[in-house]
Amino acid sequence: MAPVSYFRDMEASRKIGRPTIFKKGAMTAAERQRRRRRKLQKEKRAAEVQAKRERNQTNYAQYLRETEPQRRAQNVEFRRQLEEASRARLSRFPPLPNAGPADELARQIDEYMTHTGITLEDVRTALDHRFGPS
């Protein structure tokens, strides 16, 4: 009978770390104790991680509640600035102070005319055609 080396003859994917000692017989008290301590250590660590997650989650929820009005105000301000920048980029004229809905409509017509090449005379002709001469 030829001697067999289980670790040497094992496929490479199963060789992780040192070879086993192939111990026979029941577990000793020390082995049981070591296994139990390792299990308790894992459970304790998992409980700590879970507690930290819950703590972080409640702290983050409280932070969101406290800062929500400020974040909304920042969003409104940011959108207003973005809109102004977009208008300044697209419009040929600076924005008017105290502009009303008619000024906004004129700005939009100007923006559209800039991109399509329509003249103001074309717009006046279309308005006269639609609503009659003024």
Question: HSE (CB half, 13 Å, CA atoms) of 31?
Answer: 5
In angstroms, what CA-CA distances link 49 with 43, 44, 56, 57? 10, 9, 10, 12
**Rounded average pLDDT over 97-104:** 82
Q: Model pTM?
A: 0.40
Do the domain assignments include residue 103? yes
**Rounded average pLDDT over 103-132:** 85
Amino acid 16: pLDDT:
63
Q: Say if residue 83 is in the same domain as residue 104.
A: no
Do the domain assignments include residue 7? no
Do the domain assignments include residue 1? no
Q: How far is CA 13 from the centre of its chain?
A: 39
Q: Say if residue 82 is in the same domain as residue 117.
A: no
Q: Say if residue 105 is in the same domain as residue 76.
A: no
Q: Say if residue 79 is in the same domain as residue 103.
A: no
List of residues 6+ apart from 93 with CB closer than 8 A: 107, 110
Range of the domain at 52: 28-90
Q: Say if residue 61 is in the same domain as residue 79.
A: yes
Do the domain assignments include residue 14? no
Q: Is residue 2 helix, strand or coil?
A: coil
> Which range among 65-74, 75-84, 113-122 shows the weakest confidence by mean pLDDT?
113-122
Do the domain assignments include residue 19? no
* Domains in the chain, number: 2
Q: How confident is the model at residue 78 (pLDDT cuts 50, 70, 90)?
A: very high
